[in-house]
Amino acid sequence: MQLQDKYRIAVLSAYALALHGIESLVPTPIPWLRLGLANIVTLVALVLYGFRTAMTVTLIRVILASLFTGTFLGPSFVLSVGGGVTSTAAMGLTFLVFKDLFGPVGLSLVGAFFHNTAQLTLAYFLFIQRMEAMFVIGPIIVLLGALTGVANGAVSGLLLKNLLKKEGGRIQNDNEDERRAR
């Protein structure tokens, strides 16, 4: 990994951590509801720099945020890392296979769905173990996740549009570097 790649990952991770911190200051009507603002950075990283960068940013954000809040290796960390890794992997695979079919909003919806599904699955197997509770809370979480996914995808789309316009439509992508090396 080149120095430029490390710098890029550090800056993106710092943005994601900052958004995560700002988000924690915003009051929510439901305690476990989060807007997922840091996922905007993950989505931008995925589209501009590739899967490896996006997954690295996700892992750094989840680990550092849990260390800062004192939840490292606790239940919320397990749910966060499970949801983050699953959603980033799903968005990465979707972007790889259906690059021309899914825009930022579609990718964000895929990520939101897989994030919520992974967290619900982990919560069921590790903590709740009552199917009736999952049937009550599951649809609510998926609906709210879809709403925040659309909003985050729209913001990501605007950000990508402005970044690409500023750079003349060309931003170095890790995926292009990997293809050239083969």
- For the chain, which domains are there? 3-181 (1.10.1760.20)
How far, in Å, CA of 176 to CA of 168, rounded?
17
pLDDT tens-place string over residues 21-47:
898 888 877 667 788 899 999 999 999
Confidence band, pLDDT 50/70/90 cuts, at residue 179 = very low
Q: How far is CA 145 from the centre of its chain?
A: 12
Mean pLDDT of the chain: 87
Taking the C-alpha atoms of residue 107 and residue 91, their distance in angstroms, rounded to an integer, is 6
Number of H helices and number of E strands within the chain?
Answer: 7, 0
Task: Report which DSSP code applies to 125.
Answer: I
Structure-block tokens of residue 115? 């994030």
The number of residues making up the chain comes to 182
- Tell me if 128 sits within 8 A of 146, measured CB to CB: no
- Return the sign of the alpha-carbon dihedral for residues 86, 107, 144, 65: positive
CA dihedral 130, 27, 37, 162 (to 10 degrees): 150
- pTM for this model (two decimals): 0.84
C-alpha span between 172 and 151 (Å, rounded)? 26
Q: Do 91 and 46 meet the contact criterion of CB atoms below 8 Å apart?
A: yes
Can you give the pLDDT at residue 129?
Answer: 78
